[in-house]
Amino acid sequence: MTQLPHFQMYIDGAWTEGSAAQRMTSQNPATGADWATFACASPADVDRAIVAARRALTDAAWRDMTQTQRGKLIYRLAELIEENAAELGRLETTDSGKLLAETSTQTAYVGDYYRYYAGLADKIEGAVLPIDKPEMHVFTRREPIGVVAAIVPWNAQMFLAATKLAPALAAGCTVVLKASEIAPAPMLAFAKLIEEAGFPAGVVSIVTGDAESCAIPLTRHPDVDRIAFTGGPETARHVVRNSAENFAVTSLELGGKSPILVFEDADLEGAANGLIAGNFGASGQSCVAGSRGLVHRSIMDALIAKIAEKSAGIIVGDPMDHQSHLGPVCTGAQIDKIVATLATARSQGATIHFGGTPLAQAGNYMAPTLVECQSTDTETLKVEMFGPVMSLIPFDTEQDAIAMANDTPFGLGSGVFTENLARAHRVSARLKAGICWVNTYRAISPIAPFGGYNQSGYGREAGMDAIHDYTRTKTTWINTSDSPMANPFVMR
């Protein structure tokens, strides 16, 4: 019997099994077969990683490194990521089912995130304050916030790790990164690049495991100063409750049900491409999936015809094959949820124009699906399915479109397709979402902040301001007078 590849965790500069000897098995979503095993952390392992991170904060090897030196170290990591993008992409595709063309390209682009924050590492500045007291020199400085617990899901893990790890390291923090227990192989392999780049032991540890043994001990640990979490709202509620134990500063990126508004003057070609990218890209497994398509009634039939025409050529197949346009979803549970949600939508009167069923082959393959809804209560407009399902619903006026778009507890992404510049500005300003794309969709950059409103979370990742979220401000007062400090009990 062939032995499966095995992945260890990386704690305090060393490769290790979990102290409880627990292992999990990962399935290849393209085949449904077991393909690898990985070590899982116990609470003792989590504690060991955090103790190492706390120690590394004060060890001279990291503490006394200049910000410029830290920047060069992060630059080196960026280079290694780019050099190893093909292999990391292959691992991610095998473990998660995402297209190799996407995982390898996205991983290479992730290097730009590290390079961006490497450049900011020695530009974290304080200020001299024009204080209202005589003979006082007062200034501020930004210091590392401390130990960071970073938690990432499986669906875009190299990218989501970069938006946390890069600014944290540039700020001088230390990080314990928890990879998802679903498809963690690329994160555990990424740890080799941390080691090769030359980060001191304890500065970055990478662990994985279930909630009880790993996530809960990590997020409630008294030595954690900052939590950066990406995942679902229900898990986030537990994270917030856990943070009450340590008062860790917390940011949450939680996904949602993003609207794409298509107005009557929109370019149909561009709008159809935007809806396909927003729903079928990454097999719909994106936190910003534009899974609520709001379309002006006058163009609904024409747009559906255009989408159907384009979708007829989608090749669903092996994610390792560069000819494939759509790979499997990551887990069988997702297939079950999609099927159940579509059944409810049908019972509510929704029309399925194409797709709607899993494909009869090995693996977790779902046919790309288009649902036309007549009510905003239709299940596919409310449930985040994490699959290649596009739901469209008509609107009559701009005001109706905005109201429908904002009628959600979420607010991460949004899209507007229109040729009217005034409308683009007007509507984008009124959408309650952290990101708005106009005549495009799913574009990202290390320069642009990323985050949501409402139940899509709080805090921002990427952009210049994100690095400040990994620092604390210290204010220093210096009495410049030659005279001794005045008697505090004599008021003048």
User: What string of DSSP letters covers 366-406?
Assistant: B--EEEE-SSTT-GGGTS---SSEEEEEEESSHHHHHHHHH
For CA atoms 20, 156, 153, 10, give the dihedral sign.
positive
In the residue annotation, 17 being an active-site residue is answered as: no
Burial (CB count within 10 angstroms: exposed 0-12, middle 13-18, buried 19+), residue 370: buried
Q: Edge to edge, what strands does the sheet with 147-151 contain?
A: 14-16, 9-11, 204-208, 174-179, 147-151, 226-230, 249-253, 457-458
Q: Are 175 and 187 in contact (CB under 8 A)?
A: no
Catalytic residue among 102, 253, 372, 384: 253
Structure tokens at 295: 């379309």
Q: What is the DSSP letter of 487?
A: P
Distance of CA 7 to the CA centre of its chain: 23
Q: Are 149 and 178 in contact (CB under 8 A)?
A: yes
Check residue 398 and give left, alpha or beta (phi > 0: left; psi -120 to 50: alpha): alpha
Burial (CB count within 10 angstroms: exposed 0-12, middle 13-18, buried 19+), residue 163: buried
User: Cα separations (Å) of 411 from 75, 202, 257, 440, 480?
Assistant: 33, 36, 8, 18, 51
Residues carrying an active site annotation: 253
